[in-house]
């Protein structure tokens, strides 16, 4: 899929009221290969910084979910998945100064969720293309 196709998916989902994590995770159907309702259920609890608590940004959580789908999910996969997730988090943090939802929303000016969603999709899309 192209970056523009992923962005279009996310924008439609956001317009329907889905959260940041859902928008990011659902923009990568070619990676997760799950029905929309399954990936929506899997990712819903990560919105609002982990269930609305303002912790790790839902965009970063959505990227993490997709990185997990790029593995086999076995115990040994932690060796490769953890560094990739850490790398994605650092890229996001370098662009937005934080991966914490409440910090992103409390910045001056606040980072809008829509902007963060598009940024996260671009980061992840490029990361996947670079690491495959």
Predicted TM-score (pTM) of the model is 0.96
- pLDDT bin (cut points 50, 70, 90) of residue 132 is confident
The domain of 63 spans 3-131
The partner residues of 56 in beta bridges, in order of sequence, read: 100
d(CA 49, CA 91): 18
Cβ neighbours of residue 62 closer than 8 Å, sequence gap 6 or more = 20, 21, 22, 23, 24, 25, 43, 46, 120
Sign, CA torsion 71/75/77/81: positive
Percent of the chain at pLDDT exceeding 70? 100
3-class secondary-structure state, position 52: coil
Q: Both tokens of residue 27?
A: 């923009």
DSSP structure class, residue 56: B
On average, the pLDDT of the chain sits at 97
Residue 8 clears pLDDT 90, i.e. is over it: yes
Angle at 32 between CA 58 and CA 83, to 5 degrees: 60
Q: Which two tokens stand for residue 77?
A: 């996969």
The string of pLDDT tens digits covering residues 14-51 is 999 999 999 999 999 999 999 999 999 999 999 999 99
Count of structural domains, the chain: 1
Say which residues have a Cβ less than 8 Å from residue 36's Cβ, sequence separation at least 6. 26, 29
Averaged pLDDT, 82-93: 98
The pLDDT of residue 18 is: 98
What pLDDT is stored for residue 97 in this prediction? 97
pLDDT band at 121 (very low <50, low <70, confident <90, very high): very high
Tell me: the pLDDT tens digits for 52-69? 999 999 999 999 999 999
């Amino acid at each position: 899929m192209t970056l523009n196709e992923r962005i279009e998916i996310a924008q439609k989902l956001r317009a329907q009221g889905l959260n940041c994590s859902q928008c990011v995770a659902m923009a990568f159907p070619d990676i997760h290969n799950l029905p929309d309702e399954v990936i929506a259920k899997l990712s819903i609890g990560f919105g609002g910084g982990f269930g609305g608590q303002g912790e790790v940004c839902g965009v970063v959580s959505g990227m993490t979910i997709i990185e997990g789908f790029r593995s086999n999910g076995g115990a040994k996969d932690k060796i490769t998945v953890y560094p990739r997730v850490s790398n994605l988090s650092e890229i996001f943090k370098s662009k937005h100064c934080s991966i914490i939802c409440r910090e992103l929303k409390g910045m001056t000016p606040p980072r809008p969720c829509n902007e963060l969603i598009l940024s996260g999709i671009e980061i992840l899309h490029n990361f996947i293309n670079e690491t495959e």
